[in-house]
Structure formats: structure tokens, C-alpha cells
Chains A and B, each alone.
Chain A
Amino acid sequence: MRAIMAHDKGYIAPHEAKIIKIRELTDTTKLFELKFVEEHLNPLFQNNPGQFVELSVYGIGEVPISITSPPTKRGSFELGIRNVGNVTNAMHKLKKGDIVGIRGPFGNHFPVEEYKGKDLLFVTGGLGYLPLRSAFRFALHNRDDYGKIYILYGDRCPADVLFPEENEEYEKREDIEFLSTVDRDDEMCWGGNVGVVTSLFPSIAEKLDPKNTVAMICGPPIMYKFVNIELEKLGLDSDHIFLSLERKMKCGVGKCCHCGIGDKFVCLDGPVFTLRQIRTLPEALM
């Protein structure tokens, strides 16, 4: 798959994209569907699962945002964005038809295609759902290429749960195992499991074949600490555990140095690393 780069004007300048659809996912998170203004770019834009773009809200700045839509979605792409900073707050104020800037896609990816024939275990917490969605939807689109597929999803509270209608479909499907949980259920409106995402592991531990399973994880740093312990307890090889790291990826192309960890740049050599790689990188899981 080929990334489009803005070689025609130096990759530092973004291409203009138009917001064609906005959907509120939660009180703080919106899903933006974008399309390039220059029509010829739309068929060229091909993302791999877990890659990110640099999103510009002109006049405010530029931030890295993971692509939420799977590679199989063509002609437009989706970014799920929580309003936590200057640019994302400004983004939340934009309307359908407004123009933003896009550079990318950048970074390596979750090796979904590379592990055809294997069992896949996706583990995600909170906003980590958004980048990982591109990976598991890609696997589901090519369902016959894989063995068993497990998806474990944890979030803070029922109101924060992303894509509940899609999750419901996954739950109904017989050919995958989708389990979700929330940390707290103060309003008692959640019918399912309450607890952190690792509390879902006992229900799959028996069924999982550790030698044939590849895990792909995306969530906050604290989640990685505990999930990694669980995965190794299950007997997964650290070469078969893939994690996506978050950093301040200012340039996206390994130059500005803000996302450096050891001799790696998260924007260029990552964001996806194996657990084995991460163990050799000091301060990777902070």
C-alpha cells in the first residue's frame, strides 16, 4: 500500500481536506469523515491499520491523529477526535464543509495482513479503540483469512463507550468473541462486566491458543503495564505482542525529535512496536 506524500509542494505543507460528515460519538469525542479537496488525491490515499495523519486546523496548529477507518474504506477516511487540546478543541468547533489540512498517512502499522492464518487478539482501552478499530475492522472484512478473533474493550464509564451500535453487532456475531467492560458504572446503566480490561482475560484464557495468537493492543500506558503481564501469563511470545505508543509527534517524519525514545522515533519507526522491542527502549512505557 502506498502512502501519498505531498512531494509536489514539499511534504511539510498539508493537502486541504473537507469535512463531509460529523458524528458525535460521546460528549467529548466526534467522528469526522474527510475527503481531499483535490479529487485525484482521494483514490491515492491508502492507510494501513494503526497509521496516523497530521491534522491542521489552520491558525491553531497541527497534531497527530490516528485514522479510525480501516484500509478497506476508500474515497474518504475517518478521524475520531476527543477535544483535549488546542487543535482538537478547535476541530470540534468546525462544521460540515469546513477545510482542514492533512499530511500523511505516516508511521508503520499493525501487521494484520502479515499474520493471515493466525488467531488475533485485540485489546483496547479508552481512546485506544479509535486506532485499533482500523485494525480489527480490516481483519473482520477479511474474516476468512484468520483463525479465531478476540476483541477485548474497556472504557471508563458507559457514557464514554465508543461505537456502541457496532459493538452490539460484534457481540451478536458467532465468528468472533467481543467482550467489553467499564471501570465504573455509577448510574447503573451498564448491563455487562464492570472492572478494568484485564478482568476480561479469565473468560478467554481457556480458549486461547498462545502459540498461534498475535495480540494487537492500543490504550493508555498504564493499561499496557497490566495487559502485558496478562498476555505473558497466557504464554504469548513478546514478538507476537504489538503495541501502539503515543508521543508528541510534531513533524511525523522523524525530524523534529519530539517523539524520540532511544534511537527510535515513534512517528517513523512506530507507532507500533513489539513488546520485545519496547523492552529494549528505556522509558517507552511511561
Chain B
Amino acid sequence: MTSKIISREKISNFVDSMINDFIVIATTNKNKVPTLMEISSFEEVLFDTELPMIPLKKLFHPAQQDLFRFSRTKGVTDIYLLKATKDIETKVVVFGVRPCDITGNNVLDEIFKENFRDDYYLTLRARTLIIGINCLKPCYENCFCESMNSNDPKSGYDLMLTEIAKNQFLVVPNTDGGKRIMELYPELFEDATEEHYDKYIRILELKDNNFKKDILVEGLPSELEDKFESKAWRKYTKDCLFCGSCTFVCPTCYCYNVKDKIEIDLEHGIRIREWDSCYYPEFAKVAGGHDFRHEKERRFRYRYLHKFIDIPRRYNVEGCVGCGRCITYCPADIDVRDVLEDVRGES
């Protein structure tokens, strides 16, 4: 059997061993909010706590990224993508990723692969192994992952840990990379028996019972399409501060702006890309001043429709994973579940 058993105590040895061989990233408390960052010891890991404020996406699609260096008169002089490829001998392991975040990152994988492959994203993604931890019950009141079918990803991770009994985890590999990690530290794992499997299956059944659907996504796209002119959009537009927080913490928000930063010699500079937000006033404004989404209500509505209609239709995946971050970090207390309910409820 390829799946193995590891005890809770050994997990700390497992993580500390990986720190010797990989760059290990996990959720820590170093920034006062739960933050994904490189760790130097298992002690720093927030093992049982909530989701990191900024999801996995920041590792592959950083908030700000240098693209290339240029000279004003000669053009591109140095492409940072090629430089990055040379620096990636060391693999990165992200430890303790929750199923909703794995599903969310699968959405970005789809988007950055479509038509034109985004090598900046995909190079960083390709060097990363993901170790997930299964959720057996909703992790907090804002979670609605079950509604968004994000609780049981079939891909996008290398190993998945499921707590099948107190202090006992079944480690299930999902890729060759996952198997190779386990082979590196054979002394930490025990073989799984039939009995372990029975427990695993019982636990998964229990998990199914623990999660309830808050929102019915079946039929949601066409229903929202019909409710394009709903008054509920206006109601929430009045509350929204258009700060963009929800877009930055969202695992499936990825839009970006591109800028040139010129150096003091006025000759050299760097082209960067950085996260943008469709809630910002300049987002759809073109040179000459025409703004294709000038009214706040249109900007507010666009994000919802993009998540719940456009992404599913275009990429065949859910555009929202129900992690609830946008609810947690919204300064105006807007709850995506209420918005959808109000819009749908209106006749």
C-alpha cells in the first residue's frame, strides 16, 4: 500500500526533516495574522488554526513581481523568468494546506495555463509540492466550502493527511512527488493496515455528515444572469467601501496590473506586475478617459458574476471555493452568502 500512517508527534519530525531538504512554507503567526511563510522549525507552524489570510496564490502569483529589466533606449536587457529557472534547484514544500485552498489554486492553474502559458506562474508552481490536511468539519462560521464543492479536491496536491484517530494520521500520496517525499523519511511512517483503511473510510463518511450546503450552486449561473438588474446589487453597493480586501484575500482572484518602474538614472528600469482589483475605479478605464465600468454598482456586480457565472463557464471549475475569507476580512461586513441569497430571492 502506498498510503502510510504517521503519529501526531512524528509530524513535527517530518516537518523538521523536510526543512533540511526543502524550502518549507507553512501557516505561521509571525505577522500577527495567520501568514504563509518559510519556516525554520515545526514550532512555528499553526497546525490546527484557521486559514492563512493570504492564500497559496501568493507563492506562484506574488503580490508584486519583477518581470524584466529594460533600458529606455535599448529595450529588454534581463528577463527575470530565466534567472528564476536557474535558482530553483531547491524544491518548495507547502505544508498544511486546506482542501479549499488546494481547489482554489487549481482554478489559478487552469487560468494561467489557458491559451498562453504564463511561464512566470507555472515555473514557480512546478517547483512546489503541496501537503494538504483534510478538514473533517467546517473550520469556522464563515466556511461554506461544501456548497462550492471545494472540500474534496482530486488533484492539485502531492500528499494529503487525514486524522483517522486521535493523534493518528493516514498519509495518502496523490503524485509521484508525494511518494518520493515519503520515501525520503521511511523511519517516520508505518505501513497502513486494513483496519486503518476502515477507519479512514468511516472518518470520510463522518466528514460528509459534518458539512452542510449553505448555497445551492446548481443553476446559479443562469439564475444570476436573469437577476442582472436586481435591486439587491444596489443595496450592497451602498455598503461596500471598494477597498479591494476581498479580492486580495480571495484564492481565485488573480487580476493584475503592469507597470514600469524607472530608476534614478532615467535610463534603466524594471517592468513589474502587481495585484489589481476590479473594485478599483481605474480598472476598466482607458486612455482618453472612457471608463467601461464607471458606476460602482457595475463594479460590485462584476466580481460576483465573474466568480459565479464566468469562471465556471469558461474554465469548467467553480469560481469561488467557499473559504469565507472575503467575509472575514470585509470591513463593511458584507457576506457573499447574503448577497447571493438577496439577489436570488428577488422576484
On A, residues with C-beta under 8 Å from B are: 5, 9-14, 16, 37, 56, 58-63, 84-88, 98-99, 101, 221, 246-248, 250-251, 253-260, 262-263, 268, 282-283, 286
Contact = CB atoms under 8 A, between A and B. Distances in A.
B186 interface: no
B292 A85 contact: no
Given A9-B79, A256-B258, A263-B310, A59 B70 contact: yes
Interface centre among B81, B285, B310 (most CB of A within 10 A): B310
Contacts of A99: 73-75
Contacts of B271: 56, 62
Nearest to B228: A282
B145 to A, nearest CB: 24
B320 to A, nearest CB: 15
Interface in B286-340: 286-288, 290, 292-293, 298, 302, 305-306, 309-311, 313-314
A86 B71 CA distance: 18
Contacts of A59: 70, 72, 260, 262, 266, 269
Contact of B255 (A63, A84, A256, A268): A256
A212 to B, nearest CB: 34
A192 B62 CA distance: 57
B115 A268 contact: yes
A13 B73 contact: no
Contacts of B75: 14, 16, 37, 58, 99, 101
Contacts of A86: 287
Contact of B284 (A12, A84, A248): A248
Contacts of A60: 260
Given A13-B79, A60-B260, 10 more contacts: A11-B116, A13-B67, A61-B260, A62-B271, A84-B288, A99-B73, A250-B258, A255-B111, A255-B112, A257-B254
B259 A61 contact: yes
A258 B112 contact: no
Interface in B223-272: 228, 254-260, 262, 266, 269, 271
B115 A12 contact: no
Contacts of B136: none
Contacts of B115: 253-254, 268
B260 A283 contact: no
Contacts of B228: 282
B69 to A, nearest CB: 10
B29 to A, nearest CB: 32
A250 B260 CA distance: 13
B118 interface: yes
Interface centre among A16, A84, A257, A262 (most CB of B within 10 A): A257
B283 A258 contact: yes
B119 interface: yes
A257 B107 CA distance: 14
B116 A101 contact: no
Contacts of B116: 5, 11, 253-255
B88 interface: no
Nearest to A284: B292
14 contacts: A10-B82, A98-B73, A101-B75, A248-B292, A254-B115, A256-B255, A256-B273, A257-B278, A257-B306, A258-B283, A258-B284, A260-B278, A263-B310, A283-B292
B120 interface: yes
Does more than half of chain A's interface fall in helix, strand or loop, or is it mixed?
Answer: loop
A105 to B, nearest CB: 13
B22 interface: no
Contacts, number: 131
A262 B292 contact: no
A250 B256 CA distance: 9
A79 B194 CA distance: 70
A58 B68 contact: no
A260 B311 CA distance: 11
Give 4 closest A-B pairs by Cβ, nearest first. Answer: A85-B287, A257-B255, A16-B75, A253-B116
Nearest to A248: B286
Nearest to B277: A257
Contact of B81 (A12, A58, A263): A12
A247 B256 contact: no
A101 B74 CA distance: 9
Contact of B257 (A84, A250, A259): A250
A251 B255 CA distance: 10
A73 B294 CA distance: 39
A16 B72 contact: no
Contact of B309 (A87, A247, A262): A262
A116 to B, nearest CB: 28
B16 interface: no
B48 interface: no
Nearest to B68: A13
A14 B76 CA distance: 7
A5 to B, nearest CB: 8
B38 interface: no
Nearest to A101: B75
B287 A58 contact: no
A262 B116 CA distance: 20
Nearest to A282: B228
A12 B277 CA distance: 20
Given A283-B292, A286-B292, A10 B119 contact: yes
A98 B71 CA distance: 12
A8 to B, nearest CB: 10
B276 interface: yes
Contacts of A13: 67-68, 76, 79, 81
B286 A246 contact: yes
B114 interface: yes
A85 B285 CA distance: 11
B316 to A, nearest CB: 11
